[in-house]
Amino acid sequence: MARHTGPKNKLSRREGTDLFNKGVKLRRMNVPPGVHGPNMRAKKMSDYGTQLREKQKIKRQYGILEKQFQRYYQMADRQPTSTGPALIMLLENRLDNILYRAGIAKTRNMARQIVVHGHVTVDGQKVDRPSYQVKDNQTIMLSEKFAQNPDVIAQLESDTEPAPWLQRQATNVKKTRNPQREEVSEDFNEQLVVEYYSR
């Protein structure tokens, strides 16, 4: 269950977008990371560079590392549907992402920590793998003790609406169907990822 442990602001500045919902805490967004960041001239990006940056952006947004992302791509490539939307669907069906989309966790990192620390059950079975693929009609529940966590209570009181493919009642979440590509709000161009791996 490896994850990136370095500075998150640096990753967001590299991709030019707030990857981790830091909002006003994110500083120097318009300055690329690195010692030469402020003095770097804008260079024309090659096709390869554009594809690489999009892959890195999606991978970092979902909080996974290279080898695992590659496996997701290979799984998506074997699907009968288009590879790009199938890849996004696999990422959206991750257990940590479901908690985030349901509005129980403020960020995917928070959702990941909730899962890893053993506060989540799926259909009554304890699951501590953030990458667990949630299937249709499965029910996710927080433990009674953790449901009283102040951060969870504050998040539920923030009136964050769950995604259209999820039903939430208090801290119980049911996945009713797979998400449609147009329902995923992030500005991804997954076709660039397909082109990157098809080289």
Environment class of residue 107 by beta-carbon count within 10 Å: exposed (0-12), middle (13-18) or buried (19+)? middle
Q: Are 61 and 8 in contact (CB under 8 A)?
A: no
- pTM here? 0.82
Q: Provide the pLDDT for residue 135.
A: 94
Q: Are 108 and 92 in contact (CB under 8 A)?
A: no
Q: Provide the pLDDT for residue 53.
A: 86
Residues of the chain where predicted confidence (pLDDT) is lower than 70:
1-43
pLDDT in tens, 8-24: 666 666 666 666 565 54
pLDDT in tens, 136-171: 999 999 998 898 888 888 888 887 889 999 999 888
* Domains of the chain, first to last: 8-91+189-197 (1.10.1050.10), 92-181 (3.10.290.10)
Q: Provide the pLDDT for residue 120.
A: 93
- CA separation, residue 3 to residues 7, 13, 116 (Å): 12, 19, 12
Q: Which two tokens stand for residue 74?
A: 């290979």
DSSP summary character for residue 49:
H
> For tokens 């990422």, what's the residue?
91
Q: Provide the pLDDT for residue 16.
A: 61
